[in-house]
A = this chain, B = another copy of it.
Amino acid sequence: MRAPVVVLAGGTGGAKLARGMLDVVGAEDLVVVTNTGDDIEIYGAYVSPDPDLVTFWLADRIDERGWGLAGDTFAVMDGLRELGGEVWFNLGDRDLAIGIERARALRAGARLTDAVSAIGRALGVRACVLPMSDGPVRTRVLAHGRWWPFQEFMIACGGRGPVEGVDFRGARAAAPTPEVLAAIATARAIVVGPSNPVVSIGPILALKGIRAAIAGSDAPVVAVSPLVGGEVLKGPTAAFMQWAGRPLCSDGIAACYGGLIDGLVADSRTAVLPTLETDVLMDTATARRQVAAETLRFALALG
């Protein structure tokens, strides 16, 4: 691997940027560091939503619905419903197989890094998808009077705030993996993907020592804003930005990453940082490739 381009990714936004970056730099030179704060053990499986979302995007296997594998069936969930079981977390059959296989590997002593990597290889992904840590980190959200595990907040509360608290349980004790640290140390550019700054990128940045590692890297660091026309395309970013006291605009995004990034890619500028003003909507393969290419060019020019 030459000096890789490292993308920090949460869910869909980061995954789309990673897919575009794959076209731009090729699989050998792409490392995606993914949030594991949303991981959940359910149905006897270990489900890792963000690493899987990135993997499915890079494998061109993402379903049109925006999550899960294209063309997946839902027989097990139907079966659980027939049994009167609680099916608040919907998972396709092949998606479940991935979680079952990962749980088996972890029980057998594998690191999460190796389990995620094996799944990527099996799906034909040659780029490197890394969980941020092999240690457990679990995002919890305080809302409507109680703390919710992240997936329950998203599904049971529909991701609706007001958010009164956010906790990345385990993050301070969890170290980034050696692979993550090596990628950051040798990176040609580090790109914070357009995922939720608070609950998608936040857990990655909460890991012990990762801010110092990013600061210590020679690579330029840029973030791509998740805002399009001042709005959030997907997910509960607004409620979390409000909790964090950040305005829903380029200034707010820049403030989330204060001291960490050298520039921002967004569709409106901020006064506090160099900005690449461009259309960050990534609704087609061409757009994803273009945003990735422009972002990388912008980052390298800052380096």
Contact = CB atoms under 8 A, between A and B. Distances in A.
Nearest to A72: B75
A75 to B, nearest CB: 4
Contacts of A104: 43-44, 85
Contacts of A251: none
Interface in A74-101: 75-80, 82-85, 93-98, 100-101
B122 A100 contact: no
A152 to B, nearest CB: 16
Chain A interface helix/strand/loop/mixed? helix
Taken together, the copies of this chain in the complex come to: 2
Contacts of A82: 94, 97, 122-123
A118 interface: yes
Nearest to A73: B75
A185 interface: no
A45 to B, nearest CB: 6
A205 to B, nearest CB: 31
A209 to B, nearest CB: 32
Interface of A: 43-45, 72-73, 75-80, 82-85, 93-98, 100-101, 103-104, 118-119, 122-123
